[in-house]
Structure 1
Amino acid sequence: MAKTLTEAKITTREQRKKLPIGVHWRGIDPEVHLGYRKGKRGGKWLVRWYIGDEDYRQRTFATADDELPEGTLDFDDAVREARNLVAVERRKARAAAEGPLLTVRNAVETYSAARDARDTARKGRPVRSDATSRLTRYVTGQQARGKRKEVEATALAEIALYELSESDLLAWRAALPGALKGTTKQRLINDLKAALNEAFAANRSRLPATFPATIKHALRALNEGDGDADEVARENQILSDVEVARLLGAARDIDAEQGWEGDLFRLVLVLAATGARFSQIARLRVGDVQVKAQRLFVPVSRKGRGSKSGGTPVPIGADVLEALMPALKGRASQAPLLERWRSKQVAGGIRWERVGRGSWQSASELVRPWAAIRERAKMSEVISYALRHTSIVRGIRANLPIRLVAALHDTSVAMIERHYGRFVADGLDELAARSVVPLVPQRDDGDVVSLPQRA
């Protein structure tokens, strides 16, 4: 260690006025000294800290408030700023000693690679996950390719994780396009939060202990008002039984006209009958159709963390069961219930030929046929996810317990109450109305008994 420090009186303006021109030091922490460099016209604050081998590192960081109060620091503010600066520099040195600098870009790219690998394993072919698409577009940037335009990386992408602050994340959130829907924005925020949390879990020794709290508060869920437009759209997608029947009729017609051989109609029918997500329906097996019990054993969703198995028994009507029978006859119980023909383009021409059958793999495969279905049904605004919304609301209106509705649709009571609260309230009002009974007594002749007049 260096020799003992001689403390200078630098805490007030009057004390600093009496000092000679030069640098004067005062200890503020073990191995950290606050310095005051006096010049002919005021002075500067600087800090030095011990780095080992009897050596110090030093930095000038602000102007003292000798002449002007604005844009300068007094002694107390200088102490706080000096301590913060040293803490940041020590974290930086520790991070550099433990390996390459970790940035938000590193965290996002590692997370995206894991999501891509998971989706590739599930679908049996190389795919790019939705999370990767969102994060490259709104965080790390993307190169131009084909019709895809180049997008520059955000300033957030290059910030080192050890110095990532709440204000950095809030600034990124504020800069997101206003045209983004509330649900899309929330998914993007969730993706970034997951990427940063996983980076912390893998590098805890290199990041400050306050890192998780910074992520939690800066990337908290959107305010209720941010999703108002999406909630209105959701309510507009609640279909009547007649409208569902019209869509199914259109699906059957398009299936026949485009040569789907029943594959398209069965897919849409199961979506409507169960209210399950496309990703769940695509994983149904022949053995999941329980004919005697007249129900489908729908696989659980893959949302959330960890591996999941099992399923939920969902009752279906006899008409739905009958429509599924062609997909059951003579097939192994582990075979995919819902399949479609696969085609490839003939070499040297524009003709396509069928090369075999396989399960539905992505919701994007339904985009074109669904457009034809809703055009035939003359329901141009309806989305395929409306079948799920409708199924949930149908259960609520049937006065099923909310917990049962949530279980049948593989979601939580909290999500049901958040997104379908108006329908829950309507159902409760109806139940409450049934409990109302006549209370006013009547005479034998049917007349209402009048209360006696007051004197």
Structure 2
Amino acid sequence: MSKTLTEAALTTRNARAGLAEGVHWRGLSPDVHLGYRKQKRGGRWLVRWYQGDQKYRQATLATADDGKLEADGVTCLTFEQAKTAASRHVSTKRADDLAAADGPAPTVRTAIDAYLVTQEAREVARDGQKASRGDARLRLTRHILSSPLAAKMLHALKESDLSKWRDGLSGDLAATTVRRITNDLKAALNAAATKHRARLPAEIPLIIKNGLAGSHAETPTARDKSALPDGDIRRIIAAAKAVDDRDDWNGDLLRLVVVLSATGARFSQVRRMAVGDVQQSRLMVPTSRKGRGVKKASHIAVRVGTDVIATMRPATAGRRAGDALLERWRHKQDKSQEKAPWVRDTRGPWLNATELSRPWAEIVRLAELPADTVPYALRHSSIVRQLRNGLPVRLVAALHDTSTRMIETHYSSAIIDALDELSAGAVVPLMPPENDGDKVVPLRAG
């Protein structure tokens, strides 16, 4: 650095009033200086910081509280406020320089784009070229990439930016949807924080964690209230068969609904079932891919009735064990004809739960159930059915590829009902029986 800094008296209005017109400096650190430009009418605060090679960068901060001006902490600053603003400005600029050192500074948008590319590449490697892009892209595009948060630089990201975005989500979104969106965003930001850690502040993981934490503890949802009686499940299956026959699904729709009902598995699990997973009296359901670093068995054996096995036979006859069990036709428009009708094109496995949305709405209507009944109700119903039949919670959790904690949290009333019936058998009379023959009857005197 060049010259020795000559410290100027800048701390008070009176001290600054005695200075000559021009720029005066005071050191805040060896390479950061707070400046004051004295003018005929008042002055302005400046800051400069050392860049190396005998060079400084300089910026104007705000107006000084000289004369009749009163400090407001934003456009007009006292000496102490100017010191704070100078330190903050230099820290921000240095963070900007560090973040942009090896190319454009990463943003929330670039973090999400990189995350989606990685996720979709993983899906293609796992499921082949016909893999669905999943719901993550739709959720992130709709709720984050279209919001101001997307343009935020990661190095300048604050907890308030994230909490403000979360609080601004539509109140119409279900709690589970908000949780999925938040988890996707958190995963994208954490991946970017790891990749660019040399260019980002050390506290960025903590900012992500705290900024995306819920504003209050979420009340566990009583999912057993969404369970359906066995009679309603049968009506759903009957309605699925009617829609299947009417719309020429060739049994594809019926088989999907039957497997979901019989196993209580998630759509993402049953869509991966193979022909060889149908055994004499059970279905082998692939375990979910949920849980990071958790070692699982590849399949879960679920006992089913002979009626379910019989329904699966058309999908297994003459096919190889490794073929996808549940398939469907996809259609395209035949533009060679005048009205360009939709005709069958290719056949392949179900890819995404949204493919069930349209036929499911018709199934619910024909079954005369509430319009807000969702396919996941089949899973709730399976769990509650087993609990009320006295199966141990741990076994129910294992058969549905979840944890006992999750079962106990969300299906507590079904557990209480089952335990109440079991405990009723342990009730025994405690009061001693009354025996009329043991009673002494006094005789009357003669």
The answer to whether the superposition gives a TM-score over 0.5 is yes
After TM superposition, give the deviation of residue 213 of structure 1 in Å. Answer: 0.8
Pairing 1:376-455 to 2, within 5 Å after superposition = 376-381=366-371, 382-428=373-419, 435-445=426-436
Give the aligned residue type for 1:209. A
**Can you list the C-alpha shifts for 1:231-266, whole angstroms capped at 9, x where unaligned?**
47x555310011111111222333333333333222
C-alpha distance in 1 between matches for 2:406 and 2:303: 22
C-alpha distance in 2 between matches for 1:114 and 1:194: 11
1:3 — aligned with what? 3
C-alpha distance in 2 between matches for 1:325 and 1:126: 26
1:35 — aligned with what? 35
After TM superposition, give the deviation of residue 422 of structure 1 in Å. Answer: 4.0
Give the aligned residue type for 1:81. A
RMSD: 3.0
Tell me the SS of whatever aligns to 1:331. coil
C-alpha distance in 1 between matches for 2:262 and 2:354: 21
C-alpha distance in 1 between matches for 2:315 and 2:164: 53
Give the aligned residue type for 1:163. A
1:92 — aligned with what? 96
Tell me the SS of whatever aligns to 1:139. helix
After TM superposition, give the deviation of residue 353 of structure 1 in Å. Answer: 4.6
User: Could you list the runs of 5+ residues in structure 2 that have no partner in the other structure?
Assistant: 439-446
1:362 alignment partner, one of 335, 352, 377: 352
Pairing 1:106-255 to 2, within 5 Å after superposition = 106-121=110-125, 122=127, 124-125=129-130, 127-141=132-146, 154-221=147-214, 223-224=216-217, 231=221, 234=223, 236-255=225-244
Tell me the SS of whatever aligns to 1:290. coil
Give the % identical residues: 51
After TM superposition, give the deviation of residue 14 of structure 1 in Å. Answer: 5.2
Structure 1 stretch displaced more, 69-78 or 43-52? 69-78
Give the aligned residue type for 1:197. N
Pairing 1:257-406 to 2, within 5 Å after superposition = 257-291=246-280, 294-305=281-292, 310-349=298-337, 350-354=340-344, 357-381=347-371, 382-406=373-397
**Can you list the C-alpha shifts for 1:117-163, whole angstroms capped at 9, x where unaligned?**
3444526327443111122222223xxxxxxxxxxxx2222221111
**Distance change in 2, residues 1:6/1:353 (3 Å):** closer
Please tell me whether residue 81 in structure 1 is matched to residue 111 in structure 2. no
After TM superposition, give the deviation of residue 182 of structure 1 in Å. Answer: 2.4
C-alpha distance in 2 between matches for 1:197 and 1:247: 42
Aligned residues of 1:123 and 1:361 also touching (Cα < 8 A): no
TM-score (norm 2): 0.85
TM-score (norm 1): 0.83
Q: Which has the larger radius of gyration?
A: 2
Aligned residues of 1:112 and 1:129 also touching (Cα < 8 A): no
**Distance change in 2, residues 1:425/1:59 (3 Å):** farther
User: Could you list the runs of 5+ residues in structure 1 that have no partner in the other structure?
Assistant: 142-153, 448-455
Aligned residues of 1:273 and 1:391 also touching (Cα < 8 A): yes
After TM superposition, give the deviation of residue 166 of structure 1 in Å. Answer: 1.5
Tell me the SS of whatever aligns to 1:312. strand
After TM superposition, give the deviation of residue 342 of structure 1 in Å. Answer: 4.5
- Taking CA–CA contacts closer than 8 Å with sequence separation of 6 or more, which of the two structures ends up with the larger relative contact order? 2
Tell me the SS of whatever aligns to 2:256. helix
**Distance change in 2, residues 1:406/1:446 (3 Å):** farther
Q: Report how many aligned residue pairs link the two structures.
A: 429
